[in-house]
Amino acid sequence: MAKNILEIRGLVKRFGDFTAVNGIDFEIKEGEIFGILGPNGAGKTTTINMILGLLKPTSGTIVVNDIDITRGHGNEVKTMMGLMTQETVVDGDLTAYDNLEIAAQLYHVPKDKIPQKIKEALDEAELTQFSNRAAGTFSGGMQRRLALVKAMVQDPKLLILDEPTTGLDIQNRVSMWGHIKDLVKGGVTIILTTQYLEEADVLCDRIAIIDHGKIKAIGTASELKRMVGTGRMLEMIFEDSSHAQHGAEVIRSHFKVSATVKDDRVDAVIEKWDPRILTEVLSALDRKKIEVSSVNVHFPTLDDVFIKLTGSGMRDSASESYTSARSDMFVRGRR
Ligand SMILES: Nc1ncnc2c1ncn2[C@@H]1O[C@H](COP(=O)(O)OP(=O)(O)O)[C@@H](O)[C@H]1O
Ligand SMILES: [Mg+2]
């Protein structure tokens, strides 16, 4: 059994009378990728900054590798952790090589090991051929890759990635996921915060869903999805809201479930999925001349978990992950 590299108990942070982190508990095992998933303002960065020792908790304890850092700590804890934040932290005037060299010196990497470390880092970031170019001329994706390997030059035990892909386009985001996965093969423990449900789903061994400074649920992606049920999510979009109201009645009576209506859209959780019932529903809707514009059936996604737990979508990023994460079956334009 791997040991806990991090243990957080009853962590609270208040700014004046505003509570940003409202009593959270979790632990992370060595070698895990642990995701903190939540919308903008949920308290992710505040939590991270307390783990890094940059912010003093109002109450609670944080133990990193058996050291209670809330009682004050020295450099040994600092060099144990690497950080990459959502604001790219490379120096644009310096070459990729120099950025890495300065980081290596700052973190006291032994002098004779520095050239080899930099070579490996450039290789890992796929930047070897650009090593002598100013980082400021790099694309967003290249800069993030450089920032990522820069956070790793001192071989941290715990690598903290605070929204490492926010603002990147989807290609660059997926490429970053590959780099992050490669890092874990090297055995480093990672805490990753994200607003992207799909990112947490793809990368993380365990995920804490956080909203308004509280953990709403914690577990593997499949454990979290099972909280919604083992059935299917049914989403139907109708011609208009009046058709949707009538359509919801048909769905409720055939599937024997509750269904929610929002404008022209009906959502239902079908605990016992049977595609024949969907066929019956579609026939019944047809007979009643209720116009369906789209039908989507999918396994529960983290999005569904989030909605169930917090009563709302992921706000900033919901629509994007929603379309990319769906699966199973998609029937469009039945008219
Ligand atoms: N230094 C601060 N003073 C006052 N409020 C803050 C401060 N830092 C963060 N907050 C507030 O705490 C909440 C959580 O912020 P943050 O941890 O940055 O969220 P996240 O990283 O999940 O987007 C937000 O409402 C934010 O405005
Ligand atoms: Mg943040």
- Answer positive or negative: Cα dihedral of 173, 178, 181, 182: negative
Together in a domain, 202 and 310: no
pLDDT of 327 > 80? The answer is: no
Q: What is the structure's pLDDT at 88?
A: 65
Query: Ligand 1 pocket: which residues have CB below 6 Å?
Result: 15, 18, 20, 38, 40-46
Domain final residue pick, 186, 219, 252: 219
Together in a domain, 250 and 127: no
Tokens of residue 221, six digits: 């992606």
Q: How confident is the model at residue 297 (pLDDT cuts 50, 70, 90)?
A: very high
Residue 256, classified by CB atoms within 10 Å of its CB into exposed (0-12), middle (13-18) or buried (19+), is: exposed
Domain final residue pick, 188, 219, 250: 219
The per-residue pLDDT for range 138-149, each reduced to its tens digit, is: 998 999 999 999
Distance 46 CA to ligand 1 centre (A): 6
Higher-confidence position of 230 and 139 = 139
Together in a domain, 39 and 107: yes
Together in a domain, 240 and 316: yes
Higher-confidence position of 119 and 2 = 119
pTM over 0.85: no
Task: Write down the mean pLDDT value for the chain.
Answer: 88
Of 238, 228, 123, nearest in space to 186 by CA: 123
Q: What is the structure's pLDDT at 330?
A: 29
Ligand 1 mutation target, pool 46, 48, 162, most atoms within 8 A of CB = 46
Distance 13 CA to ligand 1 centre (A): 10
Q: In the chain, how many domains are there?
A: 2
To which H or E segment does residue 214 belong? strand 214-219
Ligand 1 mutation target, pool 15, 58, 161, most atoms within 8 A of CB = 15
Q: Which domain holds residue 256?
A: 228-332
Of 192, 197, 146, 142, nearest in space to 172 by CA: 142
Q: How confident is the model at residue 313 (pLDDT cuts 50, 70, 90)?
A: low
DSSP string of 238-273, one letter each residue: ESSHHHHHHHHHHHHHHHTS-EEEETTEEEEEESS-
Together in a domain, 126 and 27: yes
pLDDT of 322 > 70? The answer is: no
The per-residue pLDDT for range 54-108, each reduced to its tens digit, is: 899 999 999 999 999 888 766 778 788 999 987 767 899 999 999 999 999 988 8
Together in a domain, 211 and 84: yes
Together in a domain, 28 and 156: yes
Distance 163 CA to ligand 2 centre (A): 7
- Answer positive or negative: Cα dihedral of 16, 19, 25, 26: negative
Residue 247, classified by CB atoms within 10 Å of its CB into exposed (0-12), middle (13-18) or buried (19+), is: buried
Distance 287 CA to ligand 1 centre (A): 53
Distance 55 CA to ligand 1 centre (A): 12
Rg (CA), the chain: 24
Q: How confident is the model at residue 35 (pLDDT cuts 50, 70, 90)?
A: very high
- Which residue, by CA, sits nearest to atom 6 of ligand 1? 15
**What CATH number does the domain containing 21 carry?**
3.40.50.300
Q: What is the structure's pLDDT at 182?
A: 84
Q: What is the structure's pLDDT at 309?
A: 83
Task: Report the nearest atom of ligand 1 relative to the CA of 40.
Answer: 23
The answer to whether 203 and 279 are in contact (CB under 8 A) is no
- Which residue, by CA, sits nearest to atom 3 of ligand 1? 15
Higher-confidence position of 165 and 309 = 165
Strand pairing partners for 217?
A: 209
Tokens of residue 89, six digits: 């932290």
Q: Which ligand is nearest to the CA of 41?
A: 1
Higher-confidence position of 198 and 13 = 13
- Helices in the chain by DSSP H: which ranges? 44-51, 75-80, 96-106, 114-124, 140-150, 170-185, 197-203, 221-228, 241-255, 275-287, 302-310, 318-325
Q: What is the structure's pLDDT at 306?
A: 84
- Calculate mean pLDDT across residues 46-55: 94
pLDDT of 18 > 80? The answer is: yes
